[in-house]
Structure 1
Amino acid sequence: MNMDRENANRGVQAGSQDEAEQWFARLLDRNCPPEQHAAFERWRNADPAHAQAYRELELLWKRSEEATRDPAVMAAARRALLPEPGTRAPRRWAFPVLAAGLAILVAVVALPRWLSTSADPAGTAYSTAAGQQRTVQLADGSSILLDTDSQVSVRYSSRTRRVDLLHGQAQFTVQGNHAWPFVVHAGSGTVTAVGTQFQVRLNDACTGVALLKGKLAIATQAADGTTQTASLIGGESLGFDQAGHISPVHPLDLQQAQGWTQGKLFVHDWRLQQLLQEMNRYSSTKLAIGDPSLQNIHISGIFRTSDQQTFLLLLQQGWAIHARRVNHAQIVLSR
């Protein structure tokens, strides 16, 4: 009878230890939600054995952290995990206490690695200067084409492939993986892709999204917490503002969208001010309108973003516009 009671007690203790280890691993995750912490407190307070098992695990963890700083102990832990030569099964332990201690040491080594994959790592920044374009090849086979004066931060984890567009414009060519979504954060929203090619442009007033092929899911969040969602298929585009409002979906001007990737602007009935703002993105010498009467001029044509001089010659020949250099950083246009 006493033997049966002792066996039952051992079973309860083993169960408490297993549960304590599971809770310990969950709470180590820095992204563990508040409801998980609340559930853990309920579990710990439900039974004194739970609280005792968790206290013992915390103490063992602290001692193990100190032990990992001893190279000899760590070497022994790694050797202990290796199978005997010529066998696939792990070696039998002569001393159960040593086995338990080494198992915890292995956990101390492995858990930080597990946590580093479950939490977003620090981002890697990529940027371009005015007039520069750059292609960034990512580890998963995806790529980012950065337009002039643009910057992104890339953070890959086991859960998601995250890219933050900090300013400017970029084209993303994404290797498909439904279990590993590719998410671009820009302005007040996110753009989630699986095996697509799309562009995102961040402006002061809004963020533009253009889908060349594949599918996209867009989600925004306003300051008050309200959300909006939309989806795109190839050949469609939309925009959303800083308040999280998503515009209606409209057909994509494919020629214009692909133009900047080739160093060209395909312009159809643009106001001169709009055209100058776009050309200014590609040069450190800025163009400005000095004569208000030029505001009403509408222009169509194809212009190379890297050739400001030819652009000014075309303006002067086709629209009777005079260009006067004020200094090395500014050129003023007038009649």
Structure 2
Amino acid sequence: MKISAEIKARARDWWVRLDSGELNADEHAEFGRWLAADPLHRQAYDQLRELWGALEAAASRLTVPAIVKPKPVWRTWQWALPALAGGCLALWLFNPLWIMLRADFHTGFGELRDIHLSDGSIAHLNSNSALEVHIDGARRQLTLLQGEAWFEVSPDKARPFQVSAEHGKVTALGTAFNARLRDGKTEVSVTQHSVAVDLAQSGREARHTVISEGQQVVYSSESGLEQPQNIDTQTVTAWQRGKLVFENRPLGEVLAELNRYHRGYLLINDAELAQRRVNGVFRTDQPLAVLDTLETSLKLHSSRIGDYLIVLHR
């Protein structure tokens, strides 16, 4: 019998929660009951464990220099040259100088940083992210310039805690929320209490919505303010525990995510191949190990200029 998407999602949720080490005795017992309730539950969870084992094996292989049969030089550069040009463009698009000049705090590739703000709030910055902060006696206004951050907000009714991101503004109405910039869109996910999201659209009426714990809203200048969706907050914040969770995500999106943790460029030059679907839970500190696993499991090949430029192809 085929494992449903709902069971896979539940198995992934249990895997992330168990890996966090934060489950109490009652929750461990609940997990045991869930496994015993249906053989498909055990099968879905075992598939995740096997995938994790494959990742660990790939990581160990990366620590040993491999003897690789030399490839024709032109064949390698045939793949690499267009990608190198795209990589140079990406260097400007994703890390423009103006962001670093504006940012009060930023993180490098693979770096996570906890920032204790003067009002008692904490901003947790994900890899390759940048944040501008203005907090004084009259205001608490922050701007997410790049990447992703999770905010734990200290209450202060006189000074609303507001985070601007692209063309919108998020106002905390409670304790904690996650904000992320990706592909021209902003994702706002609430992990505790609620937030208000306001989108200013040129030439159109401003949009406003309030989302509660366990919900996410996405907005952009083109698509406007989308309908709120229910989310798994453990999955959204898995990056804080050094994990990446993908469920039926296109390979192109997966590579874009891995690029946030790798000081180099992981690219794909085949639009059809970029739509191949990926499922799994991976570690953020081993992006090349994840790439190695994807290459093997999807039966792909790669052309490489060291670890700096890697192009996946058929």
Class of the TM-score when normalised by the shorter of the 2 chains:
0.5 to 0.7
Which residue of the partner structure matches residue 107 of structure 2? Answer: 128
Which amino acid in the other structure matches residue 274 of structure 1? E
Which residue of the partner structure matches residue 215 of structure 2? Answer: 236
CA positional deviation for 1:164: 0.9
Which residue of the partner structure matches residue 285 of structure 1? Answer: 264
CA positional deviation for 1:213: 0.7
* Aligned 8 A contact 2:140 2:162 in 1: yes
* Aligned 8 A contact 1:198 1:211 in 2: yes
Moved over 3 A (4+): 290-293
Which amino acid in the other structure matches residue 109 of structure 2? A
Which residue of the partner structure matches residue 329 of structure 1? Answer: 308
Which residue of the partner structure matches residue 195 of structure 2? Answer: 216
* Aligned 8 A contact 1:133 1:148 in 2: yes
CA positional deviation for 1:144: 0.3
What pairs up with 1:49-88 in 2 under 5 angstroms? none
Looking at structure 2, the residues matched to 290 and 166 of structure 1 have their Cα atoms a distance apart, in angstroms, of: 28
Which residue of the partner structure matches residue 245 of structure 1? Answer: 224
**2:141 pairs with one of 162, 177, 197:** 162
1:264 aligns with 2:240: no
**1:196 pairs with one of 163, 171, 175:** 175
When residues 301 and 126 of structure 1 are mapped into structure 2, their CA distance, relative to the original with a 3 A threshold, is same
Q: Relative contact order: is structure 1 or structure 2 higher (C-alpha 8 Å, sep ≥ 6)?
A: 2
Looking at structure 2, the residues matched to 165 and 186 of structure 1 have their Cα atoms a distance apart, in angstroms, of: 5
Identity value in percent: 30
DSSP 3-state at the match of 2:104: strand
What pairs up with 1:291-302 in 2 under 5 angstroms? 291=270, 294-302=273-281
Looking at structure 2, the residues matched to 319 and 283 of structure 1 have their Cα atoms a distance apart, in angstroms, of: 21
When residues 330 and 238 of structure 1 are mapped into structure 2, their CA distance, relative to the original with a 3 A threshold, is same
Looking at structure 2, the residues matched to 217 and 303 of structure 1 have their Cα atoms a distance apart, in angstroms, of: 32
Looking at structure 1, the residues matched to 188 and 230 of structure 2 have their Cα atoms a distance apart, in angstroms, of: 11
CA positional deviation for 1:290: 4.2
* Aligned 8 A contact 2:121 2:154 in 1: yes
CA positional deviation for 1:170: 0.6
* Aligned 8 A contact 2:140 2:160 in 1: yes
TM-score normalized with structure 1 length = 0.60
Looking at structure 1, the residues matched to 269 and 158 of structure 2 have their Cα atoms a distance apart, in angstroms, of: 54
Task: Please give the root-mean-square deviation of Cα atoms over the aligned residues, in Å.
Answer: 1.9
1:227 aligns with 2:206: yes
Looking at structure 1, the residues matched to 307 and 294 of structure 2 have their Cα atoms a distance apart, in angstroms, of: 20
**1:140 pairs with one of 114, 119, 130:** 119
Give per-residue Cα distances to partners, 1:203-246, cap 9 Å, x unaligned.
Answer: 34211100001111111111226311000110011011125821
When residues 291 and 191 of structure 1 are mapped into structure 2, their CA distance, relative to the original with a 3 A threshold, is closer
Which residue of the partner structure matches residue 56 of structure 1? Answer: none
Looking at structure 1, the residues matched to 204 and 286 of structure 2 have their Cα atoms a distance apart, in angstroms, of: 45
Looking at structure 1, the residues matched to 157 and 135 of structure 2 have their Cα atoms a distance apart, in angstroms, of: 15
Structure 1 residue runs without a partner (length 5+): 1-122
CA positional deviation for 1:133: 1.1
* Aligned 8 A contact 2:110 2:285 in 1: yes
* Aligned 8 A contact 1:189 1:244 in 2: no
Looking at structure 1, the residues matched to 223 and 273 of structure 2 have their Cα atoms a distance apart, in angstroms, of: 34
* Aligned 8 A contact 2:174 2:195 in 1: no
**1:304 pairs with one of 245, 261, 283:** 283
When residues 148 and 274 of structure 1 are mapped into structure 2, their CA distance, relative to the original with a 3 A threshold, is same
Give per-residue Cα distances to partners, 1:223-271, cap 9 Å, x unaligned.
Answer: 2263110001100110111258211011023232011111211111111
Q: Which is worse superposed, 325-334 or 175-184? A: 325-334
* Aligned 8 A contact 1:228 1:244 in 2: no
What pairs up with 1:169-208 in 2 under 5 angstroms? 169-208=148-187
Structure 2 residue runs without a partner (length 5+): 1-101
DSSP 3-state at the match of 1:152: strand
CA positional deviation for 1:312: 2.4
Q: How many residues align?
A: 213
What pairs up with 1:6-21 in 2 under 5 angstroms? none
Q: Which is worse superposed, 312-321 or 169-178? A: 312-321
When residues 298 and 225 of structure 1 are mapped into structure 2, their CA distance, relative to the original with a 3 A threshold, is closer
TM-score normalized with structure 2 length = 0.64
DSSP 3-state at the match of 1:175: coil
Larger radius of gyration: 1
Which amino acid in the other structure matches residue 297 of structure 1? R
When residues 162 and 311 of structure 1 are mapped into structure 2, their CA distance, relative to the original with a 3 A threshold, is same
